[in-house]
Structure 1
Amino acid sequence: MNFTPSSHLIKNSRVSLPLIMLIILIISAGYVYQHITDKNIRSEKYDDLKIITQFKVNQIVEWNAERYSEAQFFSTDPTLIRYTYDLLKGKDVLRTKSSLQKSLSLIKENHGYENIFIMSANRKLLFSLDPQYQVVEPSIYNFIDSIIISNSIFLTDFYYCQEERTIHLDLIAPIFDHSKKIIATLVFRIDPYKYLYPLIKPWPVPSRTSETLLIRKEGDSVLFLNELRHKKNTAFRLRIPLTNKVVPAVQAVLGYTGIFEGYDYRGVEVLSYTTNIPGSNWFMVAKVDKSELLSELGFRTTIVTILMIVLILLSVAGFAWFYYSRQKNIFRELFLKEKELREAQEEFKTTLYSIGDGVITTDKNGIVKQMNPLAEKLTGWSEADAKGKSLENVLNIINEQTRQGVVNPVKRVLVEGVVVGLANHTLLISKEGKEIPIADSGAPIKNEKDEITGVVLVFSDQTRQRAAQKKLEESKEKYKNLFQSIRDAIILADTDRNIISCNPAFTEIFGYSFDEIKGKKTITIYENEQQFVELGETIKAHNGTPFNYTVNYKRRDGTVFPGETAVFYLKDSNGNTEGFIGLIRDVSERIKAETALKESERFLSEAQSIAHLGSYVWDISTGFWKSSKILDEIFGIDENYIRSFEGWADLIHPDWRIVMTDYVKNVVVGEHKKFEKEYKIIRQVDGRERWVYGLGDVELDKNNQPLKLIGTIIDITDRKMVEEELRKLKDELEIKVVEKTKELNERVAELERFHDATVDRELRMKELRDEIDRLKNKKS
């Protein structure tokens, strides 16, 4: 009879039966694995298609949102609105277009637009970045009419431009004047071939047949909007009727969302995912040829089959090898057991000599048998010198506080037969007399009969630990002193809000002694229950996060004060909440100061209102200014008025405009001088002429450059009118004074003539009297 390993193996039922079961298990596992693999690949492809589609849809939605945001931002820019006004009025057209060319060119380059142009509300092309673009497509007019009706930004759909023979996508934003009336539209033209189709085309994983389609419903057909992978020049040309429902694109526009197996525009069987794009009438289809999926499945099936055959052959060979080597292994195991025992003994010795603590082993009489190097270092004894000596001679230990000898732990282990440890504050006196704080434990060594054959003593140098413990105690003392000395009230409460402890500042502020307040609910120190409940809810809402909260507290004598409160959680080493720490600061004085400040601000506001004094802040770097309500009333402007330097200049009377703008630019800003001028304005609301008096100080930055102009303006028209009346009265008075002076001069001259005549008469009368007297004397 011929003997072969395989025939003998088959005859041995104890080996052949498990082998047959293993082969059946391998075949079953291969089948199940193949089935699961098939299912997983399909599921993976489904998930890939869904994720890719949703990712691209999100990209398009975000792209649309970004374009809308840009249109909203640029169409409401005050500078653009002012340029549009100038174009509509035909004011300085060349300069305006040049300025628009510079600013809009940056927008075009940075945001990827094909062209940007401005259309008036009556469909006139006011400006175009592209100088070649002069003829506006008729479809633009319809879009502008829609915007004027809706008063909102409008994104057109894809449309084919007959003039330029290409596909356009336009974003049109209205430009409003100060009264919210549309004066023009800002058109951002987008080339989808450069800025939208590239979002759709890429596929994130390697694939021979994958493709993303952008489509929309047009009439009774599906219109393909982007260029296709397998057909060229199909954008806006390829249509598929809605009756062809085996095509995923048709299913998409009919409202189906999800995985769909059908035939694409080539008639090839595909696996696809269809969905709509929010905020548009577009749909998206992501697809891959089914043949690509099946090729991967076929490859994996081949690999699994080969692996099954290899595993079966290896199993047969393994069982044969196992059967014929079992006897040989029995002898080998005996040899290995003996070797393992020797290695264990060697490992014990290696462990003993390399362990990080000092280790000494003794026999049952306490005689030293072995010492590791660290034990030699700590005791000062070498292993050779210590062997055979009593442990008490080698390990000399005393109590650190009493300086008395400590009972040798080996004796306790031998007597009690359990693991024992040294008390705290134990010192080891080395052979050289050096004192070392140690931690010590001893354990019995037992044989198979549970008899004690010796003791192992493990001890370690505690110098660093003692130093760390000392630092910890010092730290505790420091924080205890801080707790006692801090001027804010501190309380510790458990999770039920019962007061556990408090600092001296708490008893001083609240008037309670520690014994009076300990164990009481924290509601005791609140003004009322509502305050207590509100703070409790706030603590829960913050979930352990530190926070500040101001609440009214009540002292022992019943007086109430506001307290700014910070609350922290107390947690154990496992992170469980044990209670709360509350820091309370009496903020009565601060609140009084804040109230006084608010009252002062109110008085200032009322004073400005009574004095009709307006105030302003002009940001010199931006050119824009802010004004108070009183100043708006003086200027006759509302909140929509553009508060720029030009806006201020427009309010100045034409006779004063150049003088005032030069004064501000050259004197105030240029020389950093104080603004102080009387000038004439024209109110914007009613066109009335008024006189104002302005004061302002220039605020400089750290480089001594003008930063802001802050000041006040008051209406002095009434004063000017009084001054004018006084001037007129003065002129009239001067005229009357001149006339009266002339009249008085004439009367003086007349009086002088009368005086002269009177003097002459008196002289003649005197001469006559003298003559009479002479004649009388002569007669007598």
Structure 2
Amino acid sequence: SVFYGLIKWYRPKNKIYYQLIQGLWFGAVAVAAMMLPYIYAPGMIYDGRSVVLTLAGLWGGGYATIVSVALAGAYRVYLGGSGIWAGLATILFCGLTGLFFRQLFKGKLSDIKFFRFIIIGIIAHLGMLASQLLLPENEGLEVISLLWFPVLLIFPVTFAFLAKGFQFIERYIRSEQKIREAETLYRTTLQSIGDAVISTDIEGRINQMNPVAEQLTGWKFVDAKGKRLDKIFRIINEETREEVESPYVKVIQSGSVIGLANHTLLISKNGSEIPIADSGAPIKNENGEITGVVLVFRDQTEEREYQKKIARSEAQYRELVESTDAIAWEYDVLIDKWTYVAPQVTEKLGWLPEEWTNLEFWKNNIHPDERESATNYCFACAAKGEQHSLEYRFKTKDGNYIWLRDVVAVEMQENKPVKLRGVMFDITERKNTEISLKEKNTFIQTVLDNLPIGIALNKIDEGNAFYMNRRFEEIYGWKASELKDIPSFFEKVYPDKTYREKI
């Protein structure tokens, strides 16, 4: 069983070669067992070949069984004697019995219980006893009557114990192979991961380090192995330039995952400073005890530059927006919150940006005359993701109203509005002018409608008649809606052609 384990451990990649070697070994052991027989009579020998060949079939497989049976059979032929056929039958039956149960329990040999091994041993040795019927004359029955009890008492149990030994070796080898595979997978992952990884033992001494960690720290693993983490992984605060406590200490103290503070710089072996982000986590055994620390970190140089560009761009955009008279804003639909309101809102409306809390604040401060129409229109457009604009009066903090024109863009996700962004323009002056002009036009029309003379106004450049007062309609009998253009106006008002051409 030990040599079986060695062969399995150092097995060739070729499955057939592996089984042939196993067959040679089982066959050699069977021959060795036949060299130390119990000689019942000249030419009739009994030994442990039945146990060995059953094991060959059960654990070795098809090719191993053929080779071992061939070797044992050849040696039995060499020994000769009157029991040759009984011996060959025993060799063949035991090998086939083991092979049969190998197929029956395919993939589950490591889980077979001890009593099942005994049953397999009994079946194999019942076949061995039956093979004795091939002895000449009535010797078979005599041998069976003499040997059946010790054979069935000793050999199946011996087989079961040896099979359990094979099973133990099989389990051990599989366990070791899984450990090796896990180690290989871990090592491959560690070497190929894009982030830097350093692991330490419980004392904070480095025991693993991947190539990215070597590149960032400037230390080769062979030089860093066994050294304390704080000697290799030196970090400072970017703003204060003070040394930062080793994450190893924080992890050991907290027993949980921790992250580095922002603005952390790694000082590499050559003195260069690299902005990093990292996290540390405890390594625990099956009992939950901390056995070490793993540190994962990455170079943030490009990310920091990108963040600085974004910050500069945001600052420029904010400065541009806040330098105009318009009030830029952003509203988050999902959380019902105004996430940004430009500071100009205080100058224009008196409200502080932080006083714009939620949607109700906006709705409640719209003039009652426009509140329903403005909100309904805005909600309808937002639901469809349409950019839109609306005009309404909004109450200032001192209780007055000013006219606003609100231009709104909608951000959609999965066909639902998630954010609204817009700009409010103060159009009070324009609106007041429009209202004043409308009032003047109303006054003029009222005066014209009440004059005792008929008046008609035609737009010659546009070619239409656009106004006739009541007195004109009474005199000529035509309404303005019936005289859509200048030619029809003249034809109907002045039916006499000569007079019309003169006019």
TM-score, structure 1 normalization: 0.34
Q: 2:388 aligned with 1:547, yes or no?
A: yes
State how far apart, in whole Å, the 1-side matches of 2:302 and 2:434 are: 54
User: Counterpart of 2:425?
Assistant: 585
Q: Decide which of 474, 485, 490 is 1:634's aligned counterpart.
A: 490
User: Would the aligned equivalents of 2:351 and 2:397 in 1 still touch at CA under 8 Å?
Assistant: no
More strand by share: 1
Does the Cα contact within 8 Å between 1:500 and 1:518 map onto a contact in 2?
A: no
Match of 1:717 in 2: 502
Q: Give, in whole Å, the separation in 2 of the partners of 1:457 and 1:500.
A: 36
Corresponding residue of 1:99: none
Alignment of 1:616-695 (within 5 A): 616=463, 629-634=485-490, 689-690=497-498
SS of equivalent residue, structure 2 residue 106: helix
Residue 352 (structure 1) shift: 1.1
Q: 2:247 aligns with which of 386, 409, 415?
A: 409
Distance 1:390 1:320, change over 3 A: closer
Q: Residue 291 of structure 2: which of 437, 453, 476 is its match?
A: 453
Q: In the alignment, which residue of structure 2 is the partner of 1:11? A: none
Contact 1:554 1:561 in 2 (8 A): yes
Gaps of 5+ in 1: 1-318, 618-626, 638-682, 692-714, 719-780
Contact conserved, 1:499 with 1:517, CA < 8 A, in 2? no
Contact 1:366 1:454 in 2 (8 A): yes
* Pair 478,365 (structure 1): closer, same or farther in 2 beyond 3 Å: same
Contact 1:614 1:630 in 2 (8 A): no
Relative CO higher for 1 or 2, CA cutoff 8 Å, sep ≥ 6? 2
- Once the two structures are superposed, the pairs formed by residues 566-605 of structure 1 within 5 Å of their partners are 566-567=407-408, 583-591=423-431, 592=433
What RMSD over aligned residues (CA atoms) do the two structures have, in Å? 4.6
Q: What is the Cα deviation at residue 365 of structure 1?
A: 1.9
Distance 1:532 1:328 in 2: 80
Equivalent residue, structure 2, for 1:380: 218
Question: In the alignment, which residue of structure 1 is the partner of 2:261?
Answer: 423
**2:326 touches 2:344 (CA, 8 Å); kept in 1?**
yes
- In 2, distance between residues paired with 1:326 and 1:367? 43
Q: Distance in 2 between matches of 1:523 and 1:328?
A: 76
**Over residues 667-696 of structure 1, what are the superposed CA-to-partner deviations in whole Å (9 max), with x where a residue is unaligned?**
xxxxxxxxxxxxxxxx9xx8x6448xxxxx
Distance 2:416 2:400 in 1: 37
Deviation at 1:554, TM superposition (A): 4.5
Deviations 1:432-487 (A, max 9, x none): 11100111222222333333332222111111222232233334433433443231
Residues 608 and 464 of structure 1: is their aligned pair in 2 closer, same or farther, counting only changes over 3 Å? farther
8 A contact 2:328–2:424 mirrored in 1: yes
CA contact (8 A) 2:366 2:394 kept: yes
CA gap 1:322/1:477 in 2 versus in 1, 3 angstroms: farther
Structure 2 counterpart SS, 1:716: helix
Q: Does 1:355 align with 2:193?
A: yes
Pairing 1:534–2:373 present: yes
Deviations 1:331-360 (A, max 9, x none): 677654432221111111111111111111
Counterpart CA distance in 1 for 2:462 and 2:416 is 57
SS in 1 for 2:223: helix
Q: Which amino acid aligns with 1:565?
A: D
Q: Does 1:443 align with 2:281?
A: yes
Which residue type is aligned with residue 423 of structure 2?
Answer: L
* Secondary structure of the corresponding residue to residue 361 of structure 1: strand
Secondary structure in structure 2 of the residue aligned to 1:381: coil
Contact persistence 1:397–1:405 (CA under 8 A): yes
Q: Which residue of 1 aligns with 2:346?
A: 507
State the AA in 2 paired with 1:630.
Answer: I
Q: Which residue of 2 aligns with 1:325?
A: 106
Q: How much has 1:364 moved relative to structure 2?
A: 2.0
Q: What percentage of residue pairs aligned between the two structures are identical? A: 34
Q: Is the 8 A contact 1:352 1:359 kept in 2?
A: yes
The letter for the 2-side match of 1:419 is V
State the TM-score, normalized to the length of structure 2. Answer: 0.51
Residues 574 and 406 of structure 1, relative CA distance in 2, 3 Å threshold: farther
Structural mapping, 1:694-733, within 5 Å? 715-717=500-502
Counterpart among 184, 203, 221 of residue 365 in structure 1: 203
- Residue pair 1:498, 1:521 contacting (<8 A) in 2 also: no
CA distance in 1, matches of 2:382, 2:195: 44
CA contact (8 A) 1:444 1:452 kept: yes
CA deviation digits over 1:412-445, x for unaligned, max 9? 3334433232222111111111100111222222
Matched ranges for 1:248-327 at <5 A? 323=104, 325=106
Aligned residues: 315
Deviations 1:107-134 (A, max 9, x none): xxxxxxxxxxxxxxxxxxxxxxxxxxxx
Q: Where does residue 565 of structure 1 map in the other structure?
A: 406
Contact map agreement 1:615 1:630 (CA 8 A) in 2: no
| Partners of 1:580 and 1:443 in 2: CA distance | 41
Separation of aligned partners in 2, 1:612 and 1:568: 40
Tell me the SS of whatever aligns to 2:274.
Answer: strand
Pick the structure with more helix per residue.
2
